[in-house]
Amino acid sequence: MDVGLMQMQRRLAEYTSALFKEGILDSQYVQLQELQDESNPDFVVEVVSLFFTDSEKLLNDLSRDLAQQNVDFRRVDAHVHQLKGSSSSIGAERVKNACIVFRNFCQEKNIPGCQRCLQQIKQEFLLVKSKLETLFKLEQQVVAAGGSIPTSGSLPTMQQPIL
Amino acid sequence: MGMAAAESRFHVLAVDDNIIDRKLIERLLKTSSYQVTTVDSGSKALEFLGLHEDDRSNSGSPSILTNNHHQELEVNLIITDYCMPGMTGYDLLKKIKESSSLRDIPVVIMSSENVPARISRCLEEGAEEFFLKPVRKSDLNRLRPHVMKAVSKDQKQEKHEEEEEEEKQEEKEIKSQKHQEQQQQQHQQQLSPRPSGNSKRKAMEENLSPDRTRPRYSDIAAVV
């Protein structure tokens, strides 16, 4: 067996495992991976890419909403609700949790609180984006070297994510 | 993914304003061998179902609609998000249940929020199931019994309608026979023979109106 490929696969497995351990991704991400197959080999990348563009737009909207003279909290809440939903659907756990905190401040109509939260959400978003982009690159390398991508649920001796 | 040859492909209409969730539910449903159509609002859903927002009763065919290619597609189940701007999933559910043509289509509600009052309100209004988001593959197993029940109910109704139609045709033919006989007697001509069982069925088939014919599932091309 190609030692280079083995090493790549190990690196991929370790990287993926760390994401789960750090709570950046949760079990919903595994669900996405399980929906991917030969007939839909790019499903995860497609959904995640949608999440990136959609979230960037929502984050811009939120910045704008909070910068208004009279903040429309219903509008703000609607946007966060969307972002919370999307992040939950792809397993971006930390982004989702930051959205939950945001909504509390929103309910209290606490603008500074909301703004701080928004910064937090942006940070978490950028983090998960960067991590997933790296993950996809590692996967591409493995596939290009003739290997296949295991789903995280089948990690051999690595840290299993808590499902 | 092998489908059993005998298995019908059911058509699900999925309603969600969130683009990621639409993609997800579409993939989930397709993995479970459903045909899927997704729309992003309750009003688009009603439009797709052939119902206008202010229609209460629809005298048109139940759940049959035409797409641009003039194919007829039946909707066997509707799965909708609860929180949507404009028309909520609950509003959509109500409109469907108020429509005489759509009320038999099973409806399932999805929500990211676990609010017991919301859940019971939806179930009381006639939703078959309430799924918490994110929806998982295992949740979809709960859909099949509802689809099967609705389809078998449709088939029973169809059979009943066909039998009624047959009876009416028989009556019609007997009447027209009698009329013919009278006319022929008046013209002092030979009596025409009674039609055989075969041509009676043929006459019945020819008289079936388009909205009575339901397409065989195996003939339907994939929607998406």
Chain A neighbors of B138, CB-CB under 8 A: none
pLDDT-derived band of residue B141, with 50, 70 and 90 as boundaries? Answer: very high
pLDDT at B125 over 60: yes
Q: What does the pLDDT look like over B152-172, one tens digit per residue?
A: 877 788 888 888 888 888 888
C-beta separation of A142 from A2 below 8 A: no
For every residue of B23-53, which 3-state class applies, written as one string?
HHHHHHHHHCCCEEEEECCHHHHHHHCCCCC
Across the range A107-135, mean pLDDT stands at: 97
Residues of A near B (Cβ–Cβ under 8 Å) read 28, 31-32, 34-35, 37, 39-40, 43, 46-47, 50-51, 54, 78, 81-82, 84-86, 88-90
pLDDT at B70 over 70: no
pLDDT-derived band of residue A84, with 50, 70 and 90 as boundaries? Answer: very high
Determine whether the interchain pair A88/B27 forms a contact, defined as Cβ–Cβ distance below 8 Å: no
Closest to B24 (Cα-Cα) out of A54, A21, A147: A54
C-beta separation of A83 from A91 below 8 A: no
Identify the closest residue of chain B to A30 by CA–CA distance.
B136
Q: Where do we find the tokens 């998406």?
A: B224
Across the range B94-117, mean pLDDT stands at: 96
Q: Which of B1, B19, B134 sits opposite A28 (nearest CB)?
A: B134
Lowest mean pLDDT among A66-70, B29-33, B173-177, B188-192: B188-192
pLDDT at A46: 97
pLDDT-derived band of residue A35, with 50, 70 and 90 as boundaries? Answer: very high
Q: Which of A34, A39, A86 sits opposite B20 (nearest CB)?
A: A86
pLDDT at A43 over 70: yes
Across the range B34-38, mean pLDDT stands at: 96
pLDDT at B49 over 50: yes
Q: Is the dihedral of CA B42, B43, B48, B49 positive or negative?
A: positive
**Sheet containing B77-81, strands listed edge to edge, beginning at the edge strand earlier in sequence:** B35-39, B11-15, B77-81, B107-111, B129-132
Q: In this structure, which long-range contacts are made by residues B156-163, counting pairs with CB atoms below 8 Å and at least 24 apart in sequence?
A: B158/B214, B161/B212
Chain A neighbors of B112, CB-CB under 8 A: 84-85, 88
Determine whether the interchain pair A89/B20 forms a contact, defined as Cβ–Cβ distance below 8 Å: yes
pLDDT at B58: 47
Which whole-number Å values give the CA distances from A32 to A44, B14, B28, B133, B186, in the listed order?
6, 18, 9, 14, 79
Q: Which of A43, A54, A88 sits opposite B134 (nearest CB)?
A: A88
Residue with the bigger pLDDT between A60 and B223: it is: A60
Chain A neighbors of B133, CB-CB under 8 A: 85, 88-89
Residue with the bigger pLDDT between B170 and A77: it is: A77
pTM: 0.75
